[in-house]
Structure 1
Amino acid sequence: MAKATTTAYLPKALVAPQLTHPIFSAAAALGGKISATTVRMPITNVLNDGDYSGKIYVGAKKVEIDVLLDTGSSTLAVDGHFYDPTKDSAAKLTKIGQEVSYQDRSRWVGGIVQTDITVNSAHPLVLPKVHTAVAYHATEEMFGKSHGGILGLAYTRLNDAYTMPGKTIPPHYTYNEIQKGHRTYIEPYFSQLEAAGLVANKFAFYTLRSMVNKTTAKPESDPINNGFLILGGGEEQTDLYEGAFQLARVVHDTFYNVNLKSVTVGKTAPVQVTPPTKASHDPSNAIVDSGTNGIYLDRPVFKEVLARYRSLGLDDEIHAGYLPMSKLKLADWPVLTFVLEGALGSDVTLEVAPQTYWQTNAPKAGHASLVFYTGDGPSILGLPLMNNYFTVFDRSVNKGLGVVSFARIKP
């Protein structure tokens, strides 16, 4: 792993508009120390069926843990099968327990300890006393094939926990018992890292796939199955992107909530997306989520998008969702265009190529899988969108809500 440093977070061309626009006026007033350190963490999609993971090192013995990297959650949790806090001289036990479930129905129950978390083994960046959940009950699919855990990169209000009558390690509280505890909130790892002045309040993803490319016997060695998480930076990583950034406004500090305005299939008429209703209690109609390896459109939007594909004679393949590559002519498939509300007054226009919403050689060589779905609630703009763009989550601006910035990725 390499550690880069920079004294400026923005290319010169971006400094003037960012500093003069009102959305950035609160950046200096957010508190915390400012650091010029950035960490480029290698990540891979092989261990978690397309979702990306990177390595952290837990406790005084620096136990190596592969954590799924998720902007759709906020908790740092590690599998208790691989890390034992009772054998960690840096660990402090607490009375706090957590139980967390995810949209794919995976879940875990665990106890919170405070311990050292290290990233970047070559030039270690150590943060002591990090609230870390040690999962002692988990569904089988929770941590994939990794020596695992999950690192949530969203905001504090997603990181709720429960104070119990006694220590939560060793494990003895059940799911129902934890639910009866006193509710509290834990500051997420990345927020603690930034507050300590170790990195700036932003991070970025470089990814090329949303499912594992299975063309080789060792997919972990295939460059397109690997990428980077940049902690503390983004725009200075000029070898990972090209062109200017587009900045989407984040409208709520739970997930990375954005306003999706329209979806266009090729050259067909745009599908207009309505704001969320009051009854839905959703703060926005879309979320940018690194922990989802598909694009999920709200049902009414998906219905209209599907009609556009039908007009192009492509709806049979959409319904199939899985084809031999010999029957998939990607040249005949249109680009999907997503328009988001911008942070600087103009809309953000993002293109998703057929090569990313169809994942070739997945889940096996010679076949292709469609990673474009429908669901209830806000649309989820997952990895297939991010695979087209170097994506920066800058939480230091917009009164702490942040912006999500997109620049064309360099393959």
Structure 2
Amino acid sequence: MSSTANAPRTLKVPLVNVYAKGGYSAQLRIGAEKHPLNLILDTGSSTLVVSGSDYVEERDSALTPTSFAQEVLYGIGGWDGPVVYTRVGIREDAIDFDLHDDHVPHAHHPIVLEQCPVAVVSSLAQETSFADADGILGLAYDGLNKVYDLKDYFNHYGIAPALTHPWPFDEEIHLCSQHYHPILTDAILTEANRDFSMVQTSGNSSATQDTGAQWHQATETSFNSEDLRQFKRFLRTQPTNALPPYFSNLTSHGLTPNKFAFFARRSSIHVASQEVLTPNTANEFAFLGQDPLNQGWLILGGGEEHTELYRGEFKTIAVIENKYYNVNLVGMSIGDNEMIPSLLTQSIEEQGEQGLEEQAAETKSDTAQLDDSLSDTSALCPDGQHLHTHGVHICDTMRGQSNAIIDTGASAIVLTRHLFDALTQTLEAINPHFIEQIAPFKDIAFQQTGIDMADLQLELWPDLTFYFVGPRNEHDAAPTCDAPDCPPGCEPIAIRVTPKHYWQINTPTQGKACFKLLSQLPNWPDQSILGLPLMSAYYVVFDRSVDDKGVIRFAEQKPLNISEAQHAR
């Protein structure tokens, strides 16, 4: 590892949202050749994964192979591939749209990890999970960066060397659907230059016969790593380890403090011109990336010291579990209407100490219906305390649950079915025309079409306010309510989302607009995904140094300066 400044410090990394359909990416340089790759920032995962068609590992003299494999399934898409160790540098790029920040020393100097774990995707079909980016930089906690160790599997079947790179599970080796025995395909049988050899098991004739019987042509019932779900079932039969993710490596090597901050103004690409450019080309990406509304910042190792990015005081919410950035969403209000409870307290009352994630693992779909909570906003915690709009008391049991995650990798806010149904009913009561305008967005693909912006009167749409459980310790305590026995942090923390953030104008083309609130995805747990629309008015600090789980702080962004605002029109 190396860096220009050896003491822990902040690093200010420029971001653009033009490669991932609104998701923000940073440029890292991978391998000995320092090949530049644009990686999506994702607080909903922990793995540093790159596209094999963009990072040519065969030319990387810094690469060290392993026996590890990784696989990640998203709500839509996924990937699998080998894990290698190699050089990873950040802030070595030529992209810069900022002057020097004299009040934050060394914030623009690069940081390099010489041996960092990187997953490599070799399947072109699976690379579509990254849109036009080159991979993902996961910023969640260590527990999500699980690897499967295939060393014993390779040794048992005599596959040498016992390494996952080069990746054998595509053309060379298929797997038996029932017992996961390896099946060599014609491709490997005819490639004499690949170093795969059979090793007979001495002194055990039955084992030798069983092993040798597997080396024949693949059948219709066999599969390879292109079948993500079957391949994951195979991987789950193998030993697992947890690798430290990229950001954890930075902090453990003393290069940055254990926090980072995120600054982004949009959740969809802003198209300010009707100039016609060839889609998905370097020229188009460069042109769109010059728009200040399509730019952002990642602050590695810091937050509050970068006063050039925010103003006012921070609001702090608690992280409930150090896997994803799990939080407690107490409820949501629409305009001046009463808060709609998220059903968190009702779920706690019904499930006792069983966590919502355990419940979600057993439940494939949410069957909750709207109930009297829409008209009566009170609900009971197990200790008998009442939930109400202006003084929600947060009981200890409620603090231990999570029903939402804060996810920079999501370009929309995905609400549970209960909250989304409540939203649509309230919007219809305010103005029936609202429902007509959002109806096409039930099809996620309509995000690539949009409605005419001229028909959208944003000034008529209400603000949305999300209420969260705040931190418990006195240092980060939220203001208390008027109750004499109310402990610090008993009131929920309100984060407001305005119409210009849950609607995105001038996207996907100039003059169009897209609605960025979605209902619960099929087979998704009863959990809200709070993506970029929640964060795009704020400077958001993910401070993992507080307690053992961390907190998330929100402060109002500083507005665009005059020249930036003129450029963004």
Shared fold, TM over 0.5 = yes
Partner of 2:405: 287
2: CA distance, partners of 1:383 / 1:126: 28
DSSP-derived class of the 2:250 partner: helix
Partner of 2:57: 85
Cα deviation for residue 292 of structure 1 reads: 0.3
Structure number having the greater strand percentage = 1
**1:267 alignment partner AA:** D
Structure 2 counterparts to residues 4-403 of structure 1, below 5 A: 35-103=7-75, 105-121=76-92, 123-137=109-123, 138-146=125-133, 148-164=134-150, 165=154, 166-173=162-169, 174-175=224-225, 176=231, 177-216=234-273, 217=275, 218-275=287-344, 276=347, 277=351, 278=354, 280=356, 281=358, 283-313=401-431, 314-321=434-441, 322-343=450-471, 344=477, 345=489, 346-375=491-520, 376=524, 377-399=526-548, 401-403=549-551
**1:115 alignment partner AA:** T
Partner of 2:191: none
2: CA distance, partners of 1:40 / 1:396: 19
1:66-99 deviation line (CA, Å, top 9, x unaligned) = 1011000110011111223332222111000111
DSSP-derived class of the 2:322 partner: coil
2: CA distance, partners of 1:267 / 1:69: 34
1:308-360 deviation line (CA, Å, top 9, x unaligned) = 11110132223244421111101101110011111121421111010010000
Partner of 1:407: 555
Cα deviation for residue 242 of structure 1 reads: 0.7
Cα deviation for residue 106 of structure 1 reads: 1.7
2: CA distance, partners of 1:72 / 1:309: 29
Cα deviation for residue 48 of structure 1 reads: 0.6
2: CA distance, partners of 1:4 / 1:264: 48
CA RMSD of aligned residues (A): 1.9
DSSP-derived class of the 1:397 partner: coil
DSSP-derived class of the 1:311 partner: helix
Cα deviation for residue 159 of structure 1 reads: 1.3
1:118-162 deviation line (CA, Å, top 9, x unaligned) = 11116221112111111112525222223x011100012211111
Question: Is the 2:43–2:325 contact (alpha carbons within 8 Å) kept by the matching residues of 1?
Answer: yes
1: CA distance, partners of 2:300 / 2:545: 13
Q: TM-score, normalised by structure 1?
A: 0.88
Higher relative contact order structure (alpha carbons within 8 Å, sequence separation ≥ 6): 1
Cα deviation for residue 185 of structure 1 reads: 1.6
Q: TM-score, normalised by structure 2?
A: 0.64
**2:556 alignment partner AA:** R
2: CA distance, partners of 1:89 / 1:152: 25
Question: Is the 1:203–1:233 contact (alpha carbons within 8 Å) kept by the matching residues of 2?
Answer: yes
Question: Is the 2:4–2:109 contact (alpha carbons within 8 Å) kept by the matching residues of 1?
Answer: no
Question: Is the 1:38–1:233 contact (alpha carbons within 8 Å) kept by the matching residues of 2?
Answer: yes
1:135-192 deviation line (CA, Å, top 9, x unaligned) = 112525222223x011100012211111113211111024325444322221111011
Partner of 2:207: none
Identity, % of aligned positions: 38
Range 84-93 or range 342-351, more displaced:
84-93
**2:241 alignment partner AA:** T
**1:318 alignment partner AA:** I
**2:557 alignment partner AA:** I
Write out the 4+ residue segments of structure 1 that deviate beyond 6 Å after TM superposition. none
Question: Is the 1:35–1:200 contact (alpha carbons within 8 Å) kept by the matching residues of 2?
Answer: no
Cα deviation for residue 4 of structure 1 reads: 11
DSSP-derived class of the 1:134 partner: strand
Cα deviation for residue 35 of structure 1 reads: 4.8
**1:144 alignment partner AA:** A
Question: Is the 1:202–1:231 contact (alpha carbons within 8 Å) kept by the matching residues of 2?
Answer: yes
Flag structure 1 segments of 5+ consecutive residues without an equivalent. 6-33
1: CA distance, partners of 2:128 / 2:64: 28
Cα deviation for residue 112 of structure 1 reads: 0.6
2: CA distance, partners of 1:387 / 1:4: 31
2: CA distance, partners of 1:143 / 1:286: 23
DSSP-derived class of the 1:296 partner: strand
Cα deviation for residue 294 of structure 1 reads: 0.5
2: CA distance, partners of 1:327 / 1:279: 44
1:4-24 deviation line (CA, Å, top 9, x unaligned) = 99xxxxxxxxxxxxxxxxxxx
Question: Is the 1:265–1:305 contact (alpha carbons within 8 Å) kept by the matching residues of 2?
Answer: yes
Question: Is the 1:91–1:113 contact (alpha carbons within 8 Å) kept by the matching residues of 2?
Answer: yes
1: CA distance, partners of 2:4 / 2:541: 16
1: CA distance, partners of 2:78 / 2:22: 18
1:218-261 deviation line (CA, Å, top 9, x unaligned) = 22211101101110001111111110001100000111000011
Question: Is the 2:11–2:109 contact (alpha carbons within 8 Å) kept by the matching residues of 1?
Answer: no
Flag structure 2 segments of 5+ consecutive residues without an equivalent. 93-107, 155-161, 170-223, 226-230, 276-286, 361-400, 442-449, 472-476, 478-488, 560-569
**1:167 alignment partner AA:** L
